[in-house]
Chains A and B, each alone.
Chain A
Amino acid sequence: MGKAISSVCAWVDERLGVSDLVEFAKQKTVPLHRHSFWYYWGGLSLFFFLVQALTGVLLLIYYRPGPDAFESVRQITFEIHFGWLVRSAHSWASNLMIVAIFVHMFSVFLMKAYRKPREFGWWTGVVLLMMTMLFGFSGYLLPMNELAYFATKVGLEIPASMPGIGPKLAALVRGGLEVNEFTVQRFFALHVVVLPAVFLPLLAFQLWLVQKHGNAWPPAEERKPVEARQTIPFFPNFLMKDLAMWLIALNVLAVLASLFPWELGQPADALKPAPPGIHPEWYYMSSFQVLKLFGTWFPGASGEAAGIVIFTLGLVLWILIPLYDPTRTAGRRGRNATYFGLFALAVLLVTTVWGYVGLK
């Protein structure tokens, strides 16, 4: 038996060269230092993405976009065996995926892992985060419940407030002048076809870049001579730790999804007023609050416009960080980049908390 298996393995290996890959993986090392913990968050983001892909396909089996959307999600939740669990896991994992990506992004930023030669890793990462948020936005509408309806209505006011093309663009995205079954249908196409089709190659590109450049040393470690730095082999040591983190993530997800099942709510009704206390998902809370603040500081529509401009400028600065903090000898500029990262983190946290407090 064992002999047969090993001869099959040899047959496959001779043709695919798997052992070269294993050999390569054994050569690969991962830096070991007191900030190594943050290396797991990219992998965790990937794990949650895989969960999303699998649970998403399962939901796709029963979900019907268009006028039937709410009814089909109601059936999934209440009639299909374990449908509530699949849906709950998909909703929870989407939130956890965004948490993991945010942690990953800030750790990359503060460990200066965007510096040469990893600029493309940074840029694809930021794009992947924004796409994940678009996944969140488009997926949120699909059950076509009350919350989804208003979240999409309000969310589309942001592109609509752009001067000139804004209203036309929003109407095009919406497929009408109000959120309706056409909106669900096109958000569905976006959510399950367009976004994955762009997301997957970008993700593959980023994973390839990680393989190519390896994990970045944080600046404090990089200052040490090479002999003084510690590493562990990628295979099997780091991979096993990575998988252990995935297992923890799976357990956390299982507990959340089963003990706090995602609610279905009421079907969307265009004639019903918005329910009290309605608010965006937490990952949009910060931008929501910034817009609200600018709206109160400046008169009329100019406040919102100012908010959008400031937010966009901040984002551009954020994306361009590898260009103005390019190397480990950046000195003073490097420290300013750290301050910028901490400032961005503080703004996000403060405005998010502020947004929630403001609801009360």
Chain B
Amino acid sequence: MSEQPGNAADFLEGEGLFGRRAFVRVALGGVGLCYAAALGYPVYRYLASPVEKAAAMAAITEVTLKDAAKLPAGSALMFKFGPRPSLLIHHKDGKWVALDAVCTHLGCTVHYEPENNRIHCACHGGVYDSESGRNVSGPPPRPLKQYKVAVTDAGVRISRA
């Protein structure tokens, strides 16, 4: 018998690299993969639905907080920029600052401490500057992301910097 792969005799014998047995095996594997994809793809999209929704929400470029202009000086409020918890601070000197409120260390939500005029993360003691969002002490590796703030008649408009 010939040792050459791929000739007709081999195919009929079901031997060799291109024999019938190998062909059937590859065909079955291919069909199996098709089934796995046909089942896996809908399940993946089904599970990923809320992720896609959140990603779409996160793609917004600005948000307007209607009554936030009434926020007294020296205090702060939390709001959502898309799905992200965020922090709006009205400083005693009248300055408005909006920051992402997710700690850059391990993702806890930070809070504004008016008495120390700083931003603190309770999880691991990270401290940020309340005007620039700069990481001042503790484990945070990066500053908090800052947003642009515009106080108008319609409310406080916060947009991506």
Residue ranges of A at the interface with B (Cβ–Cβ < 8 Å): 58, 61, 79-83, 85-86, 250, 254
Q: Tell me, in angstroms, the Cα distance from A82 to B52 when the chains sit together.
A: 13
Choice from A61, A82, A254 contacting B45 with Cβ under 8 Å: A82
Q: Which residues of B contact A250 (CB under 8 A)?
A: 35
Q: Which residues of B contact A61 (CB under 8 A)?
A: 47
Q: Tell me, in angstroms, the Cα distance from A83 to B49 when the chains sit together.
A: 9
| 19 chain-A/chain-B pairs, Cβ below 8 angstroms | A58-B46, A58-B47, A61-B47, A79-B49, A80-B46, A80-B49, A81-B42, A81-B45, A81-B46, A81-B48, A81-B49, A82-B42, A82-B43, A85-B42, A86-B42, A86-B43, A86-B46, A250-B35, A254-B38
Whole-angstrom distance between the Cβ of B25 and the nearest chain A Cβ: 14
Whole-angstrom distance between the Cβ of B2 and the nearest chain A Cβ: 26
Whole-angstrom distance between the Cβ of B43 and the nearest chain A Cβ: 7
Name the interface residues of B36-80: CB closer than 8 Å to any CB of A: 38, 42-43, 45-49, 52
Q: Which residues of A contact B45 (CB under 8 A)?
A: 81-82
Q: Tell me, in angstroms, the Cα distance from A254 to B35 when the chains sit together.
A: 11
Q: Which residues of B contact A79 (CB under 8 A)?
A: 49
A81 (CB) vs chain B CBs: closest residue: B45
Q: Which residues of A contact B42 (CB under 8 A)?
A: 81-82, 85-86
Q: Which residues of A contact B35 (CB under 8 A)?
A: 250
Whole-angstrom distance between the Cβ of A234 and the nearest chain B Cβ: 21
- Additional 7 contacts, C-beta under 8 A, given A79-B49, A83-B49: A61-B47, A80-B46, A80-B49, A82-B42, A82-B45, A83-B46, A86-B46
Q: Which residue, A58, A61, A82, A83, has most C-beta atoms of chain B within 10 A?
A: A82
Q: Which residue, B35, B38, B45, B49, has most C-beta atoms of chain A within 10 A?
A: B49
Q: Which residues of A contact B38 (CB under 8 A)?
A: 254
Q: Which residues of B contact A85 (CB under 8 A)?
A: 42
Q: Which residues of A contact B43 (CB under 8 A)?
A: 58, 82, 86
Name the interface residues of B1-50: CB closer than 8 Å to any CB of A: 35, 38, 42-43, 45-49
Q: Which residues of B contact A83 (CB under 8 A)?
A: 46, 49
Q: Tell me, in angstroms, the Cα distance from A254 to B39 when the chains sit together.
A: 10
Q: Tell me, in angstroms, the Cα distance from A320 to B16 when the chains sit together.
A: 59
B45 (CB) vs chain A CBs: closest residue: A81
Q: Which residues of A contact B48 (CB under 8 A)?
A: 81
